[in-house]
Every structure is written in structure tokens, then in C-alpha cells.
Amino acid sequence: MREQKRIKKKQQIAVFIFLLSGLIISASLLFAQEEIPYDPYVAIPKYPGAVRVDVVAKREQNQWLARILEQPFRPVGYVTGRSLQWMEENHLDDKTIWFFDELASHGIYPKPKSPTSGGLGIMGLEGRVEIEKLLKVEQPHASLTAFGGWTPNAGFAGSTVDLGGKYKLSTADSLFSNDGVVSYHRSSSESFYGLGQDTSLGEYSTYQPEELRFDTGVGYQPTPALEVKESFIFQKMNIGNGNRERVGKIKEHFPVGSIPGINGGDLIGLKTYLSHDTRDNKHDPKHGGQQLAEFSYFHDTDGNDFHYLKFGGSISHFLPIKSDRRILALRLTGEKNQELGGGQIPFFNMARLGGTDRADGSELLRSYRYNRFFDEGLLAANAEYRYNIYEYGDFAGDAVALFDVGEVFGEFGDFGFDELKFSYGGGLNVKFRRRTIFSVTIARGNEKWQAGSHTKIPF
């Protein structure tokens, strides 16, 4: 009985398979005109009807305007695509990385250099050479580095040159150190608009700084995050008229005696510096922060009556928002220069505000021009939201939303919230091995739009 049921069940299954096969064959014959031949190397369309000749023709008729608008971009797209294809086929990306890795193994680190004005499309070259690596000498507690750079100024009004060298000696436990820097800086044209918060773009003039500077100091580092340093400074500054055409010259535009230090000067100084740094990576921070404080005393050596104190500091912090791909970067900075004994403060050592790269000496206010404001005191804050939008191998890219606010002032009592200057905008950082190799920003404020490009993140 059980055997008969098993045989009957097999017969039912066989009949079901036969009927299903017949249905499939019939459907295939019925819809043969819609069949798409199988090719293992060609993707089968999800919607075959969308590729019928009549459907394609109708779609082409409806897209004539888009076709017209895209024509100017087609050559660019074609050239870009072919270039990338050629680079990939010839492994140029790998060869470029290998080339720079080889230079680094010999202590040579070249990179593009942006001008102080940060203008788009203008780049020079800078670099450093670590002598002990170049000579293959192992000195874990001593280093010697030479550096230099050249870049054309904005509008190709001359150029900027930087040259110098630095050394560092440390004890075996790295607790104490001695370091020094000798640097030479010369620019054919730097911007100046006068002193104070209320200067006008109509006061635009240029000056030509030529500076020789020597710093040497003793440092104490009880922990990897904490460092205290005491330094001696010698500064020799010459100031001439800038050579940019159709722009005022500082010594012709401003009355004699109205700008302290307009003829340059020689100064010596003492500086105490304190740093507390808990950033996970100083080139691409995602966690931690940095606190800096500085106290300096300066006096002239050539009878220019420069005599003043400088107080300054900054606080920055980096907060991941649920992920290391989303970083909120915050920074607050302040500076105050105070005359002593009726002395003066040279304008070239005053607090400066305006521009897209604070490494050039002027604090960030990215919708305003470089060196836009000079005065004895400064207070500024910056915020950035950095969102990682691309990551492939050693390369990565961050989209950035930014906001800046700041003000310069003579005395603390002159500071007013109604005088604050604002900037807002966005940008893009392109990184390689967590080092920014290209950064572009665009920001808007009371003086409209300003754009800039650099080879490092602003903070």
C-alpha cells in the first residue's frame, strides 16, 4: 500500500514537470520576437522595451535640448576620459607614487606652493631636504633640514622667495631639546590697507618685505602631548614699495610717520611658548585638539623706538559626528600687542586678519583679502564641517562647509560685537595618505566672494 502511494506521487511529480516544461516552451515560442540572445559578456537589460528602436527614437527627440547644452563639455569629457584611461593603462599613478616615495627615502620632500594671496590657478614650488636621510646618517637625537620655496605673486606681480635651514638636538630620553631656525623671506608685493577695523579697499597699497630671522630655543617635553619652550629671536626687516602695477605704494600712499615700521627695523626678542596637542594626526585630525599660548617681549636695536609685549593663543578641537567621516573642526584664536614705555609696535609684527591660509601670518577670514586688517589686537573664530565623500586606496577627498568670524582692535575696550566680520562658504580637500595635497575654498562676506587654493588644511 505504501509502495503504491510512493509510485503514484512520483507519477504526479512527473506530470507536473511535463506540464511546466510545456508551458515554458509555449511561452518561448509565443514571445520569440522579444527574446534577447544570451551573451555572457553583455548585460541583459532590465527593461527590454526601453531599448526598442521606436522607443529610443522618441527619447532622442525629447532630449535635443540636453544634447545641445552638453556639446561644449563633450571635448573636455572626452579628453579627460582618454587621459585617465591612458594614465591607468600606463600605471602613471603608481609610478608617480613610487617616484615621490623614492625621493622621501632620500630625505627630499617637494610639493606645490601657493602664494600668500591664495589665488586660484597660481602655484609655485617648495620643499625640504632632511640632511641626515640624504647622507644616510643615523642620528635619532639630531636633525638638520634645509628648506626653500618660490611662487609667483597674485597677478604675477613679482614673486615670493623663502630660504632657510633648521636644526634640532635632543637628549636620549627626548625630555630636553635645543632647536634653531634661520630663514630668509622676500616678497615683491604684499597687500596693505591701513591700520584698524574700518579701513577701506580704496586704501589698497603694496609693500615689499625682506626679512632675515633667527630663532633658537630650549624646549622641555615631559609628555608627548605637552611642550614648553623658551626662545631668543633676532629679526631684521627691510620695507620697500611693492611693485604691483596700478596699485598704490605704501610709502607714497600713507603719510610719513603714520605707519610705525614703514621703513623696517631690527629687533630682538624673548618668547615663551606652551603647546598641548592631543590630535590623532596633525595633518588630518579627526579626534583631540590643540591649545597654544605665547608670551613675547620685543625691543629694537637700531633706534626705531620699538618696545612692546605680545600675548597670543589659540584653542582648536576636532569632534567626530557619529563617524570619522564627519568631523566638526572648531578653532578660537586671539592676540594682543601692548606698547611699553611709550614705544611703538611695527605694523609688520601686528595682528593681521584676512585670507585663506593662516600659515602666511594672517588669520583666517576667508571672504576677505589677505592682510585685509592690521591692528594691535585680534579675536577670531573658525568652524568647519568636513565630510569624507571619496576614499580609494591612499587617496581621499573631503567636502567642507566653513564659517569664520573675526575682528581687529587697538585696545580691549575698542572691541565690539557689532564690528565683527563674517565669512561663510565651502571647499574641497584632496588628501594622499592623510596629507592634504590640494585644498580649494570659496567664501562670501561683506566684500563679496573670495576664492583660494592651498596645499594644506587651514587648521
Residues 329-386: tens digit of each pLDDT: 999 999 999 999 889 999 999 999 998 888 778 898 999 999 999 999 999 999 999 9
Residues 273-284: tens digit of each pLDDT: 999 999 999 999
In a domain, 459, yes or no: no
Residues 192 and 287 in one domain: yes
pLDDT at 64: 62
Residues 72 and 148 in one domain: no
First to last CA, the chain: 87
Strands in 321-420 per DSSP E: 326-339, 351-353, 373-375, 377-392, 395-409
Binning pLDDT at 50, 70 and 90, where does residue 29 land? very low
Binning pLDDT at 50, 70 and 90, where does residue 72 land? low
Residues 30 and 172 in one domain: no
The mean pLDDT of 18-39, rounded to a whole number, is 43
In a domain, 133, yes or no: yes
pLDDT at 328: 95
Q: What share of the chain is helix, strand, coil (3-state, %, to 5)?
A: 25, 45, 30
> Which is more confident, 221 or 152?
221
Residues 333 and 442 in one domain: yes
Domain that holds residue 23: 1-35
Binning pLDDT at 50, 70 and 90, where does residue 77 land? low
Please count the other Cβ atoms lying within 10 Å of the Cβ belonging to residue 16.
Answer: 10
Residues 370 and 419 in one domain: yes
Residues 150 and 242 in one domain: yes
The mean pLDDT of 226-245, rounded to a whole number, is 94
Residues 364 and 442 in one domain: yes
pLDDT at 156: 66
Number of folded domains that form the chain:
3
pTM above 0.85, yes or no: no
Residue that is written with C-alpha cell 627691510 in the block: 238
pLDDT at 350: 96
In a domain, 436, yes or no: yes
Residues 296 and 443 in one domain: yes
What mean pLDDT, rounded, does the chain reach?
84
Residues 389-408: tens digit of each pLDDT: 888 778 888 999 999 999 99
Residues 74 and 214 in one domain: no
